[in-house]
Amino acid sequence: MAVGNFDGVHRGHANIVAQLLARAQEVGGPAVVFTFDPHPVRLLRPLQCPPPLTWTERKAELLAKLGVDWIVSYPTDQRMLSLTARQFFDEIISESLGARAIVEGPNFYFGKNREGNVDTLREFTTAAGVSLDIVEPVEIEGELVSSSRIRSLIGAYGDVSTARRLLTQPYRLRGLVTHGAGRGATIGVPTANLAGIDTLLPSPGVYAGLAWLDKLPWQAAINIGPNPTFGESVPKVEVHLIGWKKPLYGAALEVDFLTRLREIQPFGSVDLLKAQLKHDIERANELACAYLTTGE
């Protein structure tokens, strides 16, 4: 088993899972990831808790794609947070799950106040006759791959292209399609306005991506931010499904972000805006089709 938050399920997590699968095969048992819902920081320090990169079901889906057999999403509560490192190992790792092999990264902490680390874990596993592997972090472009680095790339800079190289799949968010001002349809670019988004929102901008409906991808151009050409200042998430004609109100929509096309900017006229949107849509369609064909 491996214990951790696995937020985003990035390349570093994939390395841990690869070793987890190897150990599972050796001991003849399932490969299990034990994670938390919600993140413990949300209960301990809610004002300092960053927005997540993945929701629980998406995290499970990504881990399953990597080959994990079982994902335990533990409901984080005060009792779990009060367990000492010793109690966490004995009650959850040993007694509840019967782990015979453990795989972690070097920055693993567990137990109340993060009192346990990999040295503590090594002491416990040695005494219990459980194997322990510590997987070194992954470096890409000279920097460590981490959820915090990915969060910064996406949330602060909108650099979803670099984030995509660090993640195992493109960054995705979800929401419900609600009624907006309807202005997009009047200029020939109808959009689905998303509400109820529960993960990190990329920095304002126009993006190329994919919208997922009934598990099928649809090329999309995505606008995150206000519409300054019309004097609006309230940020919105608007998804234009290229070539889609049917109403989407009330639908649950998932959206992958592939590339940031440009910043949000005001235009001197509606005609200038329409010309830019035409260019954005053509470019978004081109990039989305290329990704669907080549994965790049």
Chain segment 16-26, per-residue pLDDT in tens: 999 999 999 99
Residue 116 and residue 12 in contact, taking contact as beta carbons nearer than 8 Å = no
For residues 273, 279, 285, 291, the Cα torsion angle rounded to the nearest 10 degrees is -120
Average pLDDT over residues 155-167: 97
* Domains observed in the chain: 2-140 (3.40.50.620), 170-294 (2.40.30.30)
Residue 169 burial by CB count (10 A; 0-12/13-18/19+): exposed, middle or buried? Answer: middle
Residue 170 and residue 164 in contact, taking contact as beta carbons nearer than 8 Å = yes
Sequential DSSP letters for 108-140: --BSGGG-B-HHHHHHHHHHHT-EEEEPPPPEE
Report the alpha-carbon distance of residue 18 to residue 258 in Å, rounded: 25
Cα end-to-end distance, the chain, whole Å: 32
Residue 128 and residue 95 in contact, taking contact as beta carbons nearer than 8 Å = no
Peptide bond into 51 cis (omega under 30): no
Average pLDDT over residues 235-257: 92
Report the alpha-carbon distance of residue 118 to residue 105 in Å, rounded: 8
pLDDT of residue 181: 63
Residue 156 has pLDDT above 70, yes or no: yes
pLDDT of residue 185: 62
Q: What is the pLDDT of residues 110-136, one digit of tens each?
A: 999 999 999 999 999 999 999 999 999
Report the alpha-carbon distance of residue 131 to residue 128 in Å, rounded: 9
Locate 57 and state its tokens.
């079901």
Sequential DSSP letters for the chain: -EES--TT-BHHHHHHHHHHHHHHHHHTS--EEEEEES-HHHHH-GGGPPPPSS-HHHHHHHHHHTT-SEEEEEE--HHHHH--HHHIIIIIIIIIT--SEEEE-TT--BSGGG-B-HHHHHHHHHHHT-EEEEPPPPEETTEE--HHHHHHHHHTT--HHHHHHHBSS-EEEEEEEE----HHHHTT---EEEE---SPPPPSEEEEEEEEETTEEEEEEEEEE--GGGT--S-EEEEEETT--S--TT-EEEEEEEEEEE-----SSHHHHHHHHHHHHHHHHHHHHHHHHH--
Q: What is the pLDDT of residues 167-223, one digit of tens each?
A: 999 999 999 999 876 666 667 788 999 999 999 999 999 999 999 988 899 999 999
Answering whether pTM is above 0.85, one says: yes
Q: What is the pLDDT of residues 27-79, one digit of tens each?
A: 999 999 999 988 788 788 877 788 999 999 999 999 999 999 999 999 888 89
